[in-house]
Chain A
Amino acid sequence: GAGVSQTPSNKVTEKGKYVELRCDPISGHTALYWYRQSLGQGPEFLIYFQGTGAADDSGLPNDRFFAVRPEGSVSTLKIQRTERGDSAVYLCASSLWGISENSPLHFGNGTRLTVT
């Protein structure tokens, strides 16, 4: 079956611009996660949705970052006034349930964001 899909796979933008990154989770998965990964590091948690609501947004670095999941399926990560330090691979994952220990996360292959 289809896995987690992230678009675009690559995005190059200029410093100061606004970007949107899209995540299509596995159908029926209620939980959705955003991570970002810098070179040589493990993925860093950003935000977690259970259904339509953000259950934990403690990882968002500042108010330039915002994410939505209006219908409990597709999610968009939005970054305003991009900075060169925002360059990273942004990973999305979904799981069938959020709090069950039997819900492994299924990751997409990420969007590589480069801010010039």
Chain B
Amino acid sequence: DAKTTQPNSMESNEEEPVHLPCNHSTISGTDYIHWYRQLPSQGPEYVIHGLTSNVNNRMASLAIAEDRKSSTLILHRATLRDAAVYYCILRGTNFGNEKLTFGTGTRLTIIP
């Protein structure tokens, strides 16, 4: 499985934007970049995914580098409820290759 590299932890002030980086230098052409987050005592929650173009949804934005070897999850205005572990995952699209393989993620702390 193609691997991703994320910082172990980050801090951000409440109501400020947060940029969570992810490196995936061995990404293949058919791998999608997925982000999930896990709040304390809950299962992971889907945040966003993309292939080549930048993506926006109600939760966040995903900025993908032109060479696709890195991406950044952007929370535009962090709240205390955004404190969680954020996982950047590469997901294939071939049968048998589409399972999500989680790393240890980035633990995001929001400072009031």
Q: Which A residues are within 8 Å of any B CB, using their own CB? A: 4, 33, 35, 40-45, 48, 55-56, 59, 91, 93, 98-101, 104-110
Contact = CB atoms under 8 A, between A and B. Distances in A.
B75 to A, nearest CB: 18
The 6 A-B pairs of least Cβ separation, nearest first, read A107-B43, A42-B102, A104-B46, A43-B102, A101-B32, A107-B44
B96 A44 contact: no
Contacts of A106: 46
Interface of B: 32, 34, 36, 41-46, 49, 51, 85, 87, 91, 93-96, 98-105
Given A99-B93, A105-B46, A45 B41 contact: no
Nearest to B102: A42
A99 B93 CA distance: 6
A53 to B, nearest CB: 12
A99 B91 CA distance: 10
Contacts of B102: 35, 42-45
Nearest to B87: A42
A100 B32 CA distance: 11
A53 B36 CA distance: 26
Given A101-B32, A101-B51, A107-B43, A42 B99 contact: no
Contact of A55 (B46, B95, B104): B95
Given A93-B43, A110-B43, A105 B100 contact: yes
Nearest to A104: B46
Contact of B100 (A40, A45, A55, A99): A45
B44 A43 contact: yes
